[in-house]
Structure 1
Amino acid sequence: MMAHGAAAAAATDMFTPQHTAGRVLCCMCGISMPPNAANMCVACLRSQVDITEGLQKQVTLLFCTECGRYLQPPRTWIKAQLESKELLTFCIKRLKNLNKVRLVDAGFVWTEPHSKRLKVKLKIQKEVVNGAIMEQSYVVEYVVVDNMCDSCSRAAANPDQWVAVVQVRQKVDHKRTFFFLEQLILKHSAADQAINIKQMHDGVDFFYSNRSHALKLLDFLTNVVPIKSRHDKQLVSHDTKSNTYNYKFTFSVEICPVCRGDLVCLPQKVAAGLGNIGPLVLCIRVSNNLLLLDPHNLRSAYVDASQYRRLPYRPLLSSKQLVEYVVLDIEIESEVSAVGGNWALADAQVVRSSDFGKNDTIFTTKTHLGHLLHPGDYALGYDLYGANVNDLELDKYKGLVIPDVILVKKSYEEKRQKRRGRSRPWKLKNLPMEVDTTVAGGRQEEEKMAGDYEKFLEELEEDPELRSKIALYKDPTYRESSEIASMSDGEEPPSVPLEELLAELRLEEYSVKGSDDDDDMSVS
């Protein structure tokens, strides 16, 4: 049966007609060719029709050599790397009348990097004679002309030629607030319009070429930190004929001196306005307002910038005066969950680390850290038992019982000693600041700055809420050593989870294979 079927199929194939592709003669030159809608060969159609007619073959691009940006008319400057997708898109958008044809493909043709020439090979399609679709490739040459942008030319002509300056200051003995503020400014691009940023002894100056840009930064600072500001202007020139004036504007911004972790003694009027809280309270959080917490009863209150300006006060003790304690015993009384955080009121027995094993001085205090501390842990707190505190507001409270110790946070100093000096798997970006050389800082000032920055990084590792407001990036140069990987001696100090880190944006070069060969042409 199988042989009979195969024979029948062979007989059927013998009587099936074979179709062959027909060929026609070109109406112009008479050459034999496959048929198309125009009935003309490629050579004749090329001589009759050029679909690139009316399209630009050469374009001029303005390039700023100082900042590496291209001018996108009328006044926008964009940054793009050579042979990148962004630069290819920018070049194609600069072509006129390209909407009259259909763009099929585009790519860079290699040129010398210093030739000031960019070549882009385009492949386009267009309907021609009798509905025939013609496809053709051609090369557009872009001539790069050096032309400094306004900001770079102003800076090159006179670096001090500014119109407005925002002077940010804070009268404290550390720089952690400015480190945090720097990260907020970077994340929200609040200082992108600054022509110069100068780091001063007790703050930072932001210089702008436009008053509106300075006002934008001032509005941003108002929303992220409690500030007090004032502005002045100085007459630079006056044209009596046109009645125009040129001013220089100065915006002075003073950040509230109360920082995160400071101990504050509230004035009597302030304490009464906040529901008789305190008067000894801890500053738990700093944003556009202050979150104050009474560690003895877990009562909290918010103080905004306007409330603080009416009755200002300074910290009684700052984080520079923290003392390390060893927790001997802890007994939780109650837990409180509020908008400001989760705390647990507890009775704690502590002893100073410096006195541990030397004397029997044990302190009993109430703390809000009952959910974090366990017997044997270390904690940082303020030693009011041995501190010499001179505060006028504190003297106004008659009969006030001052506790011996106020605990502030859990300490991981002993666990950090093994990792100190090693790199972290994450990093932070920094503003391009110019350091003021008129103030002599010396080696001591640099060491103090490095210590404050290390404390700021440790705070980011300990507080997830704090680092959620800024951007942390993966460090591609980090390599975990085998010594750290093998450390497993009990509880590890807090660290930043890898899922919270961002990868830096890197624009990959757009590689295109192209040449200056003859144009390709086909007809369908």
Structure 2
Amino acid sequence: MAADMFTVSHTVGRVLCCMCGVTMAPNAANMCVTCLRSQVDITEGLQKLVTVLYCPECGRYLQPPRTWVKAELESKELLTFCIKRLKNINKVRLVDAGFIWTEPHSKRLKVRLKIQKEVINGAILEQAYVVEYTVEDHMCEKCSRVAANPDQWIACVQVRQKVEHKRTFFFLEQLIIKHGAAAAAVNIKQIHDGMDFYFANKSHGLKLLDFLSNVVPVRSRHDKQLVSHDTKSNTYNYRFTMSVEICPVCKDDLICLPQKVAAGLGNIGPLVLCAQVSNSLLLLDPQTLRTAYMDANQYWRTGFTSGFRSLLNARQLVEYVVLDIETDPSASSRASKYVLADVQVARKSDFGKNDITFMARTHLGHLLNVGDFALGYDVYAANTNDPELEKYRNLSLPDVVLVKKSYEEKRAKRRGKPRPWKLKALDMEIDPSALRQDQDKAAKEYERFLEEIEEDPEMRAKIALYRDANYRPQSETASMIDGDGDEPPTVPLEELLADLRIDHERDESEAADDVEMEED
């Protein structure tokens, strides 16, 4: 009771407006809101009318200078696009923004903006105004070429590889995306055994051909077809076709080198593994750790029309269990990243059925331990029908050739779960012949390609991986249940790129203001 007797109630003083004399709460300008707005217009200098270009064919808006943005009516993406088109918006503080409904066919967009700005004597004034956008139809470059003549192409680059899988094309697609090698393509078509790139200019096709010869071992041939001939001006119009054949040898394939080739490479092999594929093949002898490079010209000059082929490919890999291992550091080269070892292995499928084991010499001594799983070629049970292998006399073949460490058992628990990263894809038209293939088979091949990216840092360095904004990290409880010892390789977060779109017209101050606006 005594404490309540000494409580003092505070009252807010009222003052008169210096302009109209209305009683109001005091502020820095000593003016009421009505008089303050009559004296100061914070929307002065801001755009009220803006013209935007819209492509009616593909439904995209032009973000100057050359970027086309896909956005639906009254969507968040379209609202962001409209705000970015305003000049001098960084001079005020944007509080709120929203669309005012207009007829979809009116070619008008109205956005109501609420802004704040510091005015007389530090007083902050808030005001709303409407910006009207006039939408003008303007076809983008790609749609205009298609609308002019859908079949208007001058050069076609046909990329083929005579193998049973799509691993090479998955990797090649990522290289093309990263370097923008097919940015000028009028159309890209996916065929069951390759891809076709169509260009409106022959030089663009030659540029892609030059890029392909620098990243994969290829051979090509050029053909041209006469389209029209003007006898008066003596001008000719041709269509050019460039056929590109990729070497059918892929990474991790087991190869039996012909005798002349093995002698030319320093008597390596003759059984070698393809350790890496770039513009040349890196061949590795797993018995001695000797390596040799073979470029495209050497491969196609082996005296055969199609070069030598793989003895066994990655689809024929068998999973083994390492029972015993003994490394041999003295036989390993310091310059090599591999370590020779003698291992005792058994097929995983033989467990509980028989006691068959194999002794093998492998280059994976730095990776394998007792109890690990490894993928290798079962040469002992393989039906090899290679004429080059029959030419070698008194050649003793190893029973097993190990290729890489296997994480299949641990990956099976995580298979089907989302990854924190993603890859981009080319905008390709799929040929009906490619759709007739087994979709489950294609999905499994793509999953193996993603797993190979996680296992091979050298491959990751050549392509671009992006953060997946829709990825949600797994809870700690679930991760503790799934995690049991040695985990399969994953992509480090520091190697991922943010999937951002760079606008060349905006400066750094405007970009910083947009970040501040989103935080508010």
TM-score (ref. length: structure 2): 0.75
2:466 is aligned with what amino acid? Y
Corresponding residue of 2:313: 318
159, 177, 187: which one aligns with 2:168? 177
In 2, the alpha carbon distance for the partners of 1:416 and 1:177 equals 22
Corresponding residue of 2:454: 461
Aligned-pair CA distance for 1:429? 1.5
CA contact (8 A) 1:109 1:512 kept: no
Matched, 1:486 2:481: yes
Q: Could you say if the C-alpha distance between residues 344 and 237 of structure 1 is closer, same or farther in structure 2, counting changes exceeding 3 Å?
A: same
In 2, the alpha carbon distance for the partners of 1:287 and 1:342 equals 18
Q: Could you say if the C-alpha distance between residues 218 and 90 of structure 1 is closer, same or farther in structure 2, counting changes exceeding 3 Å?
A: farther
Across the aligned residues of Structure 1 and Structure 2, the Cα RMSD in angstroms comes to 3.8
Corresponding residue of 1:10: none
Corresponding residue of 1:425: 420
1:169 is aligned with what amino acid? R
Corresponding residue of 2:355: 360
2:317 is aligned with what amino acid? L
Percent same amino acid among aligned pairs?
62
CA contact (8 A) 1:369 1:409 kept: yes
135, 158, 179: which one aligns with 1:188? 179
Aligned-pair CA distance for 1:423? 2.0
Q: For residues 166-216 of structure 1, give each alpha carbon's deviation from its aligned partner in whole angstroms, at most 9, with x where no partner exists.
A: 111111001111111111111112222212111111011111222222122
Comparing 496-505 and 401-410, the one that deviates more: 496-505
Matched, 1:408 2:403: yes
Matched, 1:392 2:378: no
In 1, the alpha carbon distance for the partners of 2:390 and 2:98 equals 80
Q: Which has the higher contact order (CA 8 A, sep 6+)?
A: 1
Q: Could you say if the C-alpha distance between residues 71 and 326 of structure 1 is closer, same or farther in structure 2, counting changes exceeding 3 Å?
A: closer
411, 423, 431: which one aligns with 1:436? 431
1:174 is aligned with what amino acid? H
Matched, 1:502 2:479: no
Q: Could you say if the C-alpha distance between residues 233 and 90 of structure 1 is closer, same or farther in structure 2, counting changes exceeding 3 Å?
A: farther
CA contact (8 A) 1:424 1:478 kept: no
1:461 is aligned with what amino acid? E
In 2, the alpha carbon distance for the partners of 1:106 and 1:161 equals 49
In 2, the alpha carbon distance for the partners of 1:511 and 1:480 equals 28
Corresponding residue of 1:253: 244
Corresponding residue of 1:336: 333
CA contact (8 A) 2:419 2:471 kept: no
Q: Could you say if the C-alpha distance between residues 299 and 438 of structure 1 is closer, same or farther in structure 2, counting changes exceeding 3 Å?
A: closer
In 2, the alpha carbon distance for the partners of 1:117 and 1:282 equals 64
In 1, the alpha carbon distance for the partners of 2:223 and 2:248 equals 23
SS in 1 for 2:263: helix
SS in 2 for 1:320: helix
CA contact (8 A) 1:67 1:152 kept: no
Aligned-pair CA distance for 1:105? 7.2
Aligned-pair CA distance for 1:343? 0.1
Corresponding residue of 2:4: none
Q: Could you say if the C-alpha distance between residues 219 and 90 of structure 1 is closer, same or farther in structure 2, counting changes exceeding 3 Å?
A: farther
In 1, the alpha carbon distance for the partners of 2:158 and 2:357 equals 47
Matched, 1:273 2:264: yes
The aligned runs of 1:79-158 (5 Å cut-off) are 79=69, 82=78, 84=80, 116=107, 143-158=134-149
In 1, the alpha carbon distance for the partners of 2:132 and 2:334 equals 66
Q: Could you say if the C-alpha distance between residues 71 and 238 of structure 1 is closer, same or farther in structure 2, counting changes exceeding 3 Å?
A: farther
Aligned-pair CA distance for 1:242? 2.2
In 1, the alpha carbon distance for the partners of 2:55 and 2:234 equals 35
Q: Could you say if the C-alpha distance between residues 273 and 90 of structure 1 is closer, same or farther in structure 2, counting changes exceeding 3 Å?
A: farther
SS in 1 for 2:185: coil
CA contact (8 A) 2:311 2:384 kept: yes
CA contact (8 A) 1:346 1:368 kept: yes
CA contact (8 A) 2:191 2:433 kept: no
Gaps of 5+ in 1: 1-42, 44-50, 94-102, 122-137, 514-524
Q: For residues 29-57 of structure 1, give each alpha carbon's deviation from its aligned partner in whole angstroms, at most 9, with x where no partner exists.
A: xxxxxxxxxxxxxx9xxxxxxx99xxx99
Corresponding residue of 2:34: none
Larger radius of gyration: 1
Q: For residues 296-330 of structure 1, give each alpha carbon's deviation from its aligned partner in whole angstroms, at most 9, with x where no partner exists.
A: 00000111111112112110110111111111111
Aligned-pair CA distance for 1:494? 1.5
Corresponding residue of 1:451: 444
2:474 is aligned with what amino acid? E
CA contact (8 A) 1:460 1:466 kept: yes
TM-score (ref. length: structure 1): 0.74
1:480 is aligned with what amino acid? Q
CA contact (8 A) 2:101 2:110 kept: no
SS in 2 for 1:342: coil
1:70 is aligned with what amino acid? L
In 2, the alpha carbon distance for the partners of 1:325 and 1:243 equals 69
330, 346, 369: which one aligns with 1:351? 346
Corresponding residue of 1:231: 222
The aligned runs of 1:270-309 (5 Å cut-off) are 270-309=261-300
Aligned-pair CA distance for 1:87? 7.0
1:266 is aligned with what amino acid? L
1:68 is aligned with what amino acid? R
2:206 is aligned with what amino acid? L
In 2, the alpha carbon distance for the partners of 1:251 and 1:72 equals 35
In 2, the alpha carbon distance for the partners of 1:370 and 1:156 equals 60
Comparing 223-232 and 351-360, the one that deviates more: 351-360
Aligned-pair CA distance for 1:366? 0.7
CA contact (8 A) 1:83 1:510 kept: no
Aligned-pair CA distance for 1:106? 11
Corresponding residue of 1:12: none
In 2, the alpha carbon distance for the partners of 1:59 and 1:239 equals 47
2:471 is aligned with what amino acid? T
Q: Could you say if the C-alpha distance between residues 478 and 431 of structure 1 is closer, same or farther in structure 2, counting changes exceeding 3 Å?
A: farther
Aligned residues: 440
130, 152, 159: which one aligns with 2:150? 159
2:62 is aligned with what amino acid? Y
SS in 1 for 2:442: helix
Corresponding residue of 1:9: none
Corresponding residue of 1:203: 194
CA contact (8 A) 2:346 2:356 kept: yes
SS in 1 for 2:459: helix
472, 488, 499: which one aligns with 2:465? 472
